[in-house]
């Protein structure tokens, strides 16, 4: 297993480099001017000097090489220096956002906690709800519970967040006045009262996201359980006199989790990517809203760095899912 993990990590390096190059070239082809946000009163020669300072006028391959050096060499040095309280990396050029003129990684780190509070909690809540629903729906196929679960999941698939979010705001904020309609990103949790306020403002965006996650995972869990409940090993286990709970929750569930683990693991990078629509509806100052802002501003370094981080997370959690296969199914061996 260790040999397999090391081999996959080594193979992921050229994969990520190729992905970063493709993303960079696609963004280079995108229309727009980073100086479009500059006031019209600024003289053209000043704008030209600003372009040169940002490296916009340089060849695409030169810009890509500088970005690679900044991301893979300078940014890790800055992170190590921050951990040990040293400042060896001072004066070195980091990846700078064209819009804010500040380091991209610093902005991303500032936004991640807000995204984890909302999207991360919604993902955990969705998993905790979806798995039991999928298991029981498969075990009681075509029952009232199964029919109700199918109805709810169809609603979760059919209704988009840009409709569910404003609907919850109208019902729970405008009519009932239970929860705030705007997420306060400046709120600090330092006692039980502040924690209660944090939970209150998280409820609606978490509900919107958890509905979609529950709908997706519960259908995967139900389909996987139904596929395994009819296998020969299940009949053999029952013929041996094993209790129904052991058969379902030990034998069937373990084999059924293999495809579901893939869906869960590959969905984790979306937590860090944020939920663009939901974050904008509830004004959550997270990663999703940041990506949308940088896209509208044609901020090439910001979009490039953020999308590359997503690619790294996808490759990493894909490897974790493959390793979990071996733990769930002893028949799977990589070495």
Task: Specify the pLDDT at position 252.
Answer: 86
Give residues with Cβ within 8 angstroms of 310, minimum separation 6: 269, 272, 273
Task: Specify the pLDDT at position 150.
Answer: 86
Taking the chain, what is the end-to-end CA distance rounded to the nearest angstrom? 6
Burial of 87 per CB tally in 10 Å (0-12, 13-18, 19+): exposed
Q: Is 237 helix (H, G, I), strand (E, B) or coil?
A: helix
Q: In this structure, is the dihedral angle defined by the CA atoms of residues 98, 101, 103 and 104, taken in order, positive or negative?
A: negative
Q: In this structure, is the dihedral angle defined by the CA atoms of residues 97, 101, 106 and 109, taken in order, positive or negative?
A: negative
Distance between CA atoms of residues 261 and 153, nearest Å: 19
**Opening angle at CA 78, ends 74 and 84, nearest 5:** 145
Task: Specify the pLDDT at position 128.
Answer: 92
Of 214, 217, 246, 215, whose CA–CA distance to 233 is shortest? 246
Task: Specify the pLDDT at position 215.
Answer: 87
Of 53, 19, 213, whose CA–CA distance to 125 is shortest? 213
Give residues with Cβ within 8 angstroms of 9, minimum separation 6: 319
Task: Specify the pLDDT at position 35.
Answer: 65
CB atoms within 10 A of CB 99: 17
Own/partner pairs, 2-6, CB within 8 angstroms, 24+ separation:
3/334, 3/335, 4/322, 4/323, 4/334, 4/335, 5/319, 5/323
Task: Specify the pLDDT at position 106.
Answer: 83
Distance between CA atoms of residues 319 and 245, nearest Å: 32
Phi-psi map region of 299: left, alpha, beta (phi>0 left; psi -120 to 50 alpha): beta
- Tens of pLDDT along the chain (335 residues) come to 677 777 777 888 888 888 888 888 888 777 666 666 666 677 777 777 777 766 676 777 888 888 888 777 766 666 666 555 555 455 467 777 777 777 888 888 888 888 888 888 888 898 999 999 999 898 888 889 988 888 888 888 788 887 888 888 888 888 888 888 888 777 777 778 888 888 888 888 888 888 888 888 888 899 989 888 888 888 888 888 888 888 888 888 888 888 888 888 877 777 666 577 788 888 888 888 888 888 877 778 888 888 888 888 888 888 777 777 766 666 666 55
Please state whether the predicted TM-score (pTM) of the whole model is above 0.85: no
Contact yes or no for 194/132 (Cβ under 8 A): no
CA distances from 296 to 33, 36, 280, 317 (A): 11, 11, 14, 29
Contact yes or no for 333/326 (Cβ under 8 A): yes
Burial of 227 per CB tally in 10 Å (0-12, 13-18, 19+): middle
Go through the domains of the chain in sequence order and give each one's CATH number: 20-94 (no CATH), 107-328 (1.10.3720)
Residues facing 103 on adjacent strands:
96
Concatenating the DSSP letter of every residue in 147-192 gives: HHHHHHHHHHHHS-HHHHHHHHIIIIIIIS--S-SS--TT----SH
Distance between CA atoms of residues 138 and 153, nearest Å: 14
Distance between CA atoms of residues 72 and 65, nearest Å: 11
Of 289, 286, 284, 300, whose CA–CA distance to 104 is shortest? 300
Task: Specify the pLDDT at position 297.
Answer: 77
Distance between CA atoms of residues 275 and 278, nearest Å: 5
């Amino acid at each position: 297993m260790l040999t397999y993990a090391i081999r996959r990590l080594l193979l992921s390096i050229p994969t990520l480099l190729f992905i970063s190059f493709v993303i960079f070239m696609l963004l280079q082809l995108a229309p727009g001017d980073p100086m479009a946000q500059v006031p019209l009163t600024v003289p053209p020669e000043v704008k030209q000097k600003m372009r040169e300072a940002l490296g916009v006028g340089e060849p695409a391959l030169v810009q890509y090489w500088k970005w690679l050096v900044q991301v893979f060499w300078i940014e890790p040095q800055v992170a190590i220096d921050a951990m040990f309280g040293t400042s060896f990396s001072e004066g070195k050029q980091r990846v700078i956002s064209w819009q804010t003129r500040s380091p991209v990684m610093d902005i991303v780190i500032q936004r991640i906690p807000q995204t984890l509070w909302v999207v991360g909690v919604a993902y955990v809540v969705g998993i905790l709800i979806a798995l039991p629903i999928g298991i029981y729906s498969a075990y009681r196929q075509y029952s009232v519970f199964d029919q109700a679960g199918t109805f709810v999941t169809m609603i979760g698939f059919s209704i988009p967040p840009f409709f569910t979010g404003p609907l919850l705001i109208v019902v729970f904020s405008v009519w009932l006045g239970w929860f705030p309609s705007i997420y306060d990103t400046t709120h600090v949790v330092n006692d039980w009262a502040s924690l209660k306020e944090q939970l209150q403002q998280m409820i609606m965006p978490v509900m919107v996201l958890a509905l979609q996650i529950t709908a997706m995972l519960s259908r995967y869990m139900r389909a996987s359980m139904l596929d395994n409940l009819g296998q020969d090993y299940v009949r053999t286990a029952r013929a041996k006199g094993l209790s129904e709970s052991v058969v379902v929750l030990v034998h069937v569930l373990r084999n059924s989790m293999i495809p579901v683990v893939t869906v869960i693991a590959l969905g984790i990078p979306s937590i860090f990517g944020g939920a663009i629509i939901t974050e904008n509806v509830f004004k959550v100052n997270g990663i999703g809203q940041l990506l949308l802002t940088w896209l509208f501003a044609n901020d090439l370094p910001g979009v490039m760095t953020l999308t590359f981080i997503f690619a790294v997370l996808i490759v990493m959690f894909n490897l974790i899912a493959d390793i979990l296969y071996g733990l769930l199914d002893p028949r799977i061996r990589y070495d």
